[in-house]
Amino acid sequence: MKLKLDLDDLANDFFEDTRLAGIVAPLKSYQFCWHLNHLLHFDFRINNDIEIQLQKKNRNYYFSVFEYRQPVGSLVHYLYNNQYDGEYLLPEFRHLDFLWLMKGDTVADAFFQQIIGSVKTLNGVQLVMELTNEKIKNKGHLIF
C-alpha cells in the first residue's frame, strides 16, 4: 500500500485563515524589517529553521524568512524574501520584493488594512497589495 502526500490538501491546510500581502520595496531584508519593527513596534527576526530552499537548474536557492509572534493570541507574521540570486520564490509575482504572511489566527479586515496602510508610509515602499489564494500558482513554495 502506497501513501500519497496530497500537496493540495497540505497547501489548503497551511493557508487556512491566512492573509498574504505582496510588497514592492527595493530594500535589503534586514533594513526593511528594521523599519517595520520601528514603525509597528514588532520584533521581526530571521528564522533560519524555516528558510525556504528551492532547487532550480541544479542549483540551490535560499529564501530567508523573518518571523514575529504577537505577544497575545496565536497570530504569527512571516516575511519572506521573494528573490534570491535572480530566482523568485513566487515567479508569478516577479515584481514583488517581499511576501508577508499572517497565520495562526483570524486576521480581521480592519487590522490587515491598518498594516497595509502603515507599510505604505515607509520610505522605499512603492506598493503593498493583498494576494488572494486564487492568484498564487506556487503556493507550495511558501510552506515550511
Which residues, given as ranges, of the chain have pLDDT below 70?
1-8
DSSP states along the chain: ------HHHHHHHHTTT-EEEEEE--S-HHHHHHHHHHHHT---EE-GGG-EEEEETTEEEEE-EEEEE-SSSS-EEEEEE-EETTEESSGGGTT-SEEEEEESS---HHHHHHHHHHHHTSTT--EEEEE-GGG-S-GGGG--
Task: Specify the number of domains making up the chain.
Answer: 1
Q: What is the pTM of this model?
A: 0.90
Q: Tell me: the pLDDT tens digits for 13-30?
A: 888 889 999 999 999 999
Q: Is residue 40 part of a domain?
A: yes
Q: Tell me: the pLDDT tens digits for 82-91?
A: 999 999 999 9
Residue span of the structural domain in which 134 resides: 22-142
pLDDT at 136: 84
Q: Is residue 11 part of a domain?
A: no
